[in-house]
Structure 1
Amino acid sequence: MEEHMFELTKDQIREFLKGRLIASIGTENPDGSIHLTAVWYLHEDQFFYVATSSRSRKARNVAARPKASLMVDSRKAGCERGVTASGNAEIITGEGAQELNRRVHLRYMSAAALSDARIGPVFHALDDVTIRLTATSWISWDTGAVDAQLFHGALAAMPGCFLPLGD
């Protein structure tokens, strides 16, 4: 069986990453273990931008060890898809970070919420830096393609095939 037959195409990856999903970013801790946390992201070309605090573990890890991986996935039973990107990471500060963070926040919150004096300034103060991941390695998957190619659509055709996931 061909190794890449269940991967998304570049166009499918680009379209998938436009979705409003939660990503997981992995960075390396001082002891070599991985710090993994959920984040909001913005994707443009080979770059992923993550708004965060300069005091966060992920920001401190990137400053000390400038590599990271980021995974975005959709978990609808039988139709799971996802993308993992890995590469060099860096911390952006100052006005550049403020503008990028504003754009990240606008992907997940309404302009009205961010304009609210009780909300916007808090996000602005909390997220004072941006992590930029330059993706040099990509992995993707599409279980709908697995179903179609290996099971001839039997998984999607069988109600209750997959047990529900909980929150």
Structure 2
Amino acid sequence: MSRRAQIVMTPEEIKDFLADGKVANIATIGPNGRPHLVALWYVPRGDGIATWTYASSQKAANLRRLAQATVLVETGDTYDQLRGVSMECDVELVGDTEKVALIGTELMRRYNSGEPEVATAATQFVRVQAVKRVGLVLTPTKVVSWDHRKLGGTY
């Protein structure tokens, strides 16, 4: 068996990994043909993820031109602990303010402590921000994963 085959995550492991992850690195193609790479918070959505960004951002402009992105979520401080999921994705840009607000609300719930005053402030923040933003729903067309912990410390 190849070493590569040993470290591939199962679909369930990928879902769990994305649920535990915090930051997605998202690459789009800029107007000069070069990758434009940004880090964003996200929420798991089906087999992919959803997030939001300012409608005037470079990544939104890139996605209007070519609604495709590559997403990387990874972790690990040493080789034997490296884990990651790379996804080539089709991207839906969501312009409906209510739908954008729903994505923003999911993000605030995921990344805030859940304290009532934080939740109230986050709801107000989301409402104000949703009119300036677009939602991004990233659906994988190809997924590559790795979990070096499966090698048991051997290389």
TM category, shorter: 0.7 to 0.9
| Identical positions, percent | 25
Q: Distance in 1 between matches of 2:127 and 2:112?
A: 13
| Larger proportion of strand | 2
Q: Which amino acid aligns with 1:62?
A: L
Superposed CA RMSD in Å reads 2.0
Q: Distance in 2 between matches of 1:130 and 1:114?
A: 20
Q: Distance in 1 between matches of 2:89 and 2:136?
A: 12
**Equivalent pair of 1:13/1:83 in contact (CA under 8 Å):** yes
Q: Which amino acid aligns with 1:142?
A: D
Q: Does 1:87 align with 2:54?
A: no
Q: Where does residue 143 of structure 1 map in the other structure? A: 148
| Larger proportion of helix | 2
Q: Where does residue 24 of structure 1 map in the other structure? A: 25
Q: Deviations over 1:39-87 (max 9, x none)?
A: 0111122231012111111111111111001111112433121111112
Q: Where does residue 49 of structure 1 map in the other structure? A: 50
Q: Equivalent residue of 1:110, what SS?
A: coil
**Equivalent pair of 2:104/2:126 in contact (CA under 8 Å):** no
- Please report how far the alpha carbon of residue 123 of structure 1 lies from its aligned counterpart in structure 2 after TM superposition: 4.7
Q: Distance in 1 between matches of 2:102 and 2:123?
A: 13
TM-score normalised per structure 2: 0.84
Q: Which structure would you say has the larger RCO, counting Cα contacts within 8 Å and 6 or more residues apart?
A: 2
Q: Distance in 2 between matches of 1:20 and 1:110?
A: 16
TM-score normalised per structure 1: 0.79
Structure 1 segments, 4+ long, off by >3 Å, are 119-127
Aligned in 2, Cα 1:47/1:67: closer, same or farther, shift over 3 Å? same
Q: Deviations over 1:123-162 (max 9, x none)?
A: 543452111111110011112123x2734xxxxxxxxxxx
Size of the aligned set, in residue pairs, is 148
Unaligned regions of 5+ residues in structure 1, if any? 152-167
**Equivalent pair of 1:51/1:129 in contact (CA under 8 Å):** yes
